[in-house]
Amino acid sequence: MTPHPADRDGAVRDHAAEVEAALAVLAGDLPLPLRVAAADQVTDDDHDDDVDGDTPTARLLLRRPDHQPDHRGDGAGLGGGPRWPAPDGSLGRLWTTAEGLVVGLGAPPSGGSEAPATEPWLVAGDAAGRCLDRDVVVVLPHDGTDDGTDDGTGDDAAVEALLCGLGAGAAAARLGLERRPAPGGVPRVRVPEALLPAARRGLAASAAVHLARLVTCAPPGVATPAAVAAWARSGAEAVGATCEVLDADALRAGGYGGVLAVGAGSAAEPRLVRVRWDGRPGSSGGASGPGAPADLVVVGKGVTFDSGGLSLKSPAAMQDMRSDCAGAAAALAAVLSLAAQRAPVAVEALLPLAENLPGPGATRPGDVVRSRSGRLVQVLDTDFEGRVLLADALTDACASRPRLVVDLATLTYQAVVALGQDVGALLARDGSAAAAVLDAARRAGEPLWRLPLADRYRGQVDLGWAVRNHPLADSGRAITAALFLDAFVPPEQPWAHLDVAGPSWRGDASADGATGFGVRTLLELARALGGPPER
């Protein structure tokens, strides 16, 4: 995302207002930045400027490197822009041509590639969405029978990812303007009628992605644990979900030693938030009845700022540490979106929220704390705080024996060392849980790669009498972090751990760099567990 230090009138940004507006959009109280509408099947040979006879409509053409439109002519593209160099199909690049706005999809994924086939559509949509200011008709780069992804993904998945990107990009471009009428009305994106349901799903998902980005990007003085908890409560009320917030007193009474230890050095006291939605037949919305475990419980790491605590980070390493709540932001946005769509699935988001600072009362290296489960945790490095925070929430997540527990966290830099900036790490004990999450990520366009939960390293974290948060080894830390979490998940509980430290952020510390990675995977996973949402 690009930085937005001020809105279009030059006024100072109000990040809290942006989050509140995004919550209102997700709940349907404010309009989405785009609309979708049906259009007749449009091919590359069609040049009608007016598709339905009432509104001039430009064209949005998606191109691979080996499929270039004719860019000859006067160069008058969308909005009469200047003639640019010939489109080469590079992923996410934009051109204005006489035919319309061209956006590159990049080369098709090669056989065996870890890149999901829908990822280019998501990226291309995000890029194009930032400059849409009028109606467009989507021109698919094929004859209508194969989207060119080579894995059978099909038009539905591609268009859903495209509209998610378009909506999220358009929302980012309109930051600060959500409460005002859009000049000329809200642009329409026209797709073939058969693809309208997929387009609507994608546009709904874009509101969740945008919300997750804004919560993550908000300055840490704005997105405090109490503020994020208040946003969760407000959002849950708006969409008909239930929300429970435990403050510091309730955490102490409940024995949440891990959450309290991480937040002990900050004047901004920690919180634990639980948002529930149950859309199964016979349920009452947010209230899950006894004996009815959730289909999916998502635990999102919510360190609203991470200084490293007494194991202080370097100044450079601290600069973008507002991003350490990306897991909680994605979990919250996904569950609120499912509730807003009245999805026939029972889901919960558990958000342990804390600010990790070295103030008075801060946890010291060597301290031993009692977790919610009763297991002792030896804190050897206060900058390895995320796993300590997650331990208590995982204990609560597993208490009702849900069908699947997933935790989402910006947990280790070694996941980035292993997989690079673009690919998230997945670790799981059993193949079925891993397969379900990987399949959802493939459909979502969010690349994940499974790393081994190698039991041979368990001795680095499990002391018998306690679990220590630092493995005393410089390698394998993505694995040992997952092994620490594994100690708080019962053996019979299906569980998957996602380390998204790499793909959750793009750009420098001044950028609005949050990507919302994980939101679409969670939505796809919930859809697979519960069935399609009501229309």
Residue 243: enclosing H or E segment and its boundaries?
A: strand 242-246
Q: Which of 387, 468, 477, 520 is catalytic?
A: 387
* DSSP codes, 479-520: HHHHHHHHTTS-TTS-EEEEE-TTTTB-S-TTS--B--TTHH
DSSP 284: B
Q: What is the 3-state secondary structure (H, E, C) of 99-164?
A: CEEEEECCCCCCCCCCCCCCHHHHHHHHHHHCCCCCCEEEECCCCCCCCCCCCCCHHHHHHHHHHH
What is the side-by-side order of every strand in the sheet holding 368-370? 368-370, 376-378, 467-468
Residues 211 and 336: beta-carbon distance below 8 Å: yes
Q: How far apart are CA 149 and CA 109, in angstroms?
A: 7
Q: 516: alpha, beta or left, given left = phi > 0 and alpha = psi -120 to 50?
A: left
- 456 in catalytic set: no
Residues 227 and 215: beta-carbon distance below 8 Å: no
Tell me the chain's radius of gyration from C-alpha atoms: 23
Neighbour-count burial of 66, counting CB atoms closer than 10 A to its CB (0-12 exposed, 13-18 middle, 19+ buried): exposed
Q: How far apart are CA 495 and CA 486, in angstroms?
A: 9
Which structure tokens are listed for 112?
């065996």
User: 301, 478, 264: which is closest to 389 by C-alpha?
Assistant: 301
Q: Which of 83, 134, 233, 313 is catalytic?
A: 313
- 301 in catalytic set: no
Which residues does the annotation mark as catalytic? 313, 387
